[in-house]
Amino acid sequence: MRIQAEFVEGFGTLAELGRAVSVFGSARLKPGSEFYDKGVELGRLLAEAGFAVITGGGPGAMEAANKGAYEAGGTSVGLGIELPFESGLNAYVDLGVNFRYFFARKTMFVKYAQGYVVLPGGFGTLDELFEAVTLAQTQKVTSFPIVLLGTKFWAPMMSFIHDTLYAEGMVGESDLHRLRVVDEPAEAVRIITSDGETFAATRPE
Ligand SMILES: C/C(=C\CNc1ncnc2c1ncn2[C@@H]1O[C@H](COP(=O)(O)O)[C@@H](O)[C@H]1O)CO
């Protein structure tokens, strides 16, 4: 019943959201750091382009993207998760839902977004990123833009994907193009906007 209630509350709260982008990244980024500031810029640019910004509602990269969207007058969504050490939704969330289960929360990230932007992060970020890549690879979602911010940070992972996963036949050539890597938030928003038009037109209900 609790699991069902989480889905019902999430669907009910987000049903009228409109165009949105999910932003992921480290909970540990500090205000004033390079990628926190880029997260704020990204949130602002997405809001200015007419997208609601969906994050995990926590600190770090989540707070940064919510802050940018909130201060630009956009819709700033936080999908919080109950954790033993959780401190609640960040101060820049104006539409929040709290979840006990990661899997219910992850459904909302993908169901209501037209694309993902991923800032540098750790295990949680990689989990969210590779779920999206797998959904795209298995055609559970189509034409879903996934943009990574930070070419230097992501370079070892991109090399591993190419030099090991692709070289060993674990992924196909088309999989190499699923992730786009940029350095500037404006470039991420440009990709989301142009690919997102294709996505909106082809997305199944
Ligand atoms: C670790 C700290 C706070 C944890 N609070 C979180 N609140 C909300 N969402 C979270 C939190 N921690 C992880 N997440 C999710 O995973 C991604 C970030 O994980 P990473 O391991 O830090 O890369 C993020 O996108 C969230 O969805 C404070 O120190």
* pLDDT tens per residue, range 72-108: 999 999 999 988 887 789 999 999 999 999 999 999 9
Contact present, 124 and 59 (Cβ < 8 Å): no
What is the model's pLDDT at position 204?
47
Ligand 1 atom nearest the C-alpha of 27 is: 22
DSSP β-bridge partners for residue 179: 146
Q: Which structural domains are found in the chain, ordered by start?
A: 2-197 (3.40.50.450)
Q: How far is CA 23 from CA 4, 129, 157, 160, in A?
A: 25, 10, 19, 23
Nearest CA to ligand 1 atom 26: 56
Query: What is the ipTM score, two decimals?
Result: 0.93
pLDDT (tens digit per residue) in 150-181: 999 999 999 999 999 999 999 999 999 999 99
> Which residues does a 6 A CB cutoff place in the pocket of ligand 1?
24-28, 56-59, 62, 81, 83, 86, 121-125, 128
What is the model's pLDDT at position 84?
86
Distance, CA 167 to ligand 1 centroid (Å)? 32
Angle formed by the axes of helices 123-137 and 102-111, to 10°?
Answer: 50
